[in-house]
Amino acid sequence: MAETKALMRALAGETQAVPPIWMMRQAGRYLPEYRATREKAGDFLSLCYNPELAAEVTLQPIRRYGFDAAILFADILLVPDALGADLWFVTGEGPRLSTITSEADFGKLKGAEDIHDHLAPVYETVRILSRELPKEVALIGFAGAPWTVATYMIAGRGTPDQGPAHALKAEDRALFEALIGRLTEATITYLSAQIEAGAETVKLFDSWAGSLKGQDFEDFCVAPAKTIIAALKAKHPGVPVIAFPREAGEKYIGFAKATGADCVALDNSVSPEWAAEHVQADGCVQGNLASSHMVTGGEDLVRETRRIVEAFSGGPHIFNLGHGITPDADPANVQLMIDTVRGG
């Protein structure tokens, strides 16, 4: 019944009078019901690996808002965790990992096919959601793209400029390429298992794609995405893939054709008018309201939402934010956004 779902129709290239809508990080700390469930879980990783609770927080924004899609509640760093890196979260600061900076470090990682036991709870979450979601709501699986995940594995944490990853890329190209290769294989394995468990489409988040310049963008953003998408298409024909090379700028142009992605998600550093001309010309686009509007609300939110809907009205479009909603967002502003998109 996928073709009856608004999101799947957009991914198939259909232009709709009202675009389907969902929101990155729609299950998150801005919602009181999420905060209550996370407290029940004990900590963030325990929530990710508890299928019943992870499914519950995935369903919460669907119940509250009636989004057209639910995205699996998980984290992009579960893949390095499954590969054998140490992963923990520091309250108020974010993730920490054991680092991969030498051949010896890399040698301790598991093979891409050895991640399933560790990630079995995530697949169970997908199975629960495929049963419990309303029939009109599409289920999105996801993973981090190899470059973005590698930046965390090399630095051991998030960094403002991905400097440690760029340094390793320059100093030990062979090691860096081996890590990208292992992550590419693991991402294919992981997303394929999500599809087998019931995900109807998957999204590849390359949150730090914008820091790759010149040929590095082609080698470490475009090429891994192309490999991952081709492998998934070979194994799961007809399952669409959304790609998000955040802050790619001019390199958004032609990204769908270069990688095989069915939809390109856009951050809010590009205008919807520019993106409609240069990116939507190749197919479905997703985006791209600034997440700050979920904090400030008001007429600016309404005006910018209408502008985006109008700009992308000539082709297939999924309405979304340009990045994830922030913990300080007002839930009422989310409802205002949805009402505006849907003509309320």
**Catalytic machinery residues:** 25, 29, 38, 75, 152
Spacing of C-alpha 166 from chain mean position:
22
Determine the Cα angle at 308 with ends 303 and 311, to 5°. Answer: 120
Which residues lie below 8 Å from residue 265, measured CB to CB, with a gap of 6+?
Answer: 203, 242, 243, 244, 246, 285, 286, 287, 288, 320
Sheet of 201-206, strand order: 69-71, 138-144, 201-206, 241-245, 263-265, 284-289, 317-321
Residue 284 CA to residue 263 CA, distance in Å, equals: 5
CA-wise closest residue to 205 among 328, 19, 24, 10: 24
Residue 220 CA to residue 126 CA, distance in Å, equals: 29
CA-wise closest residue to 321 among 284, 295, 289, 298: 289
Print burial letters for 114-141: b (CB count within 10 Å at least 16), e (below 16).
ebeebbebbbbbbebbeeebeeebbbbb
Residue 184 CA to residue 168 CA, distance in Å, equals: 18
Which residues face 201 on adjacent strands?
140
Phi–psi pair at 265, nearest 5 degrees: -85, 140
CA dihedral angle for residue 184, residue 188, residue 193, residue 195, rounded to 10 degrees? 130
CA dihedral angle for residue 194, residue 196, residue 200, residue 202, rounded to 10 degrees? 30
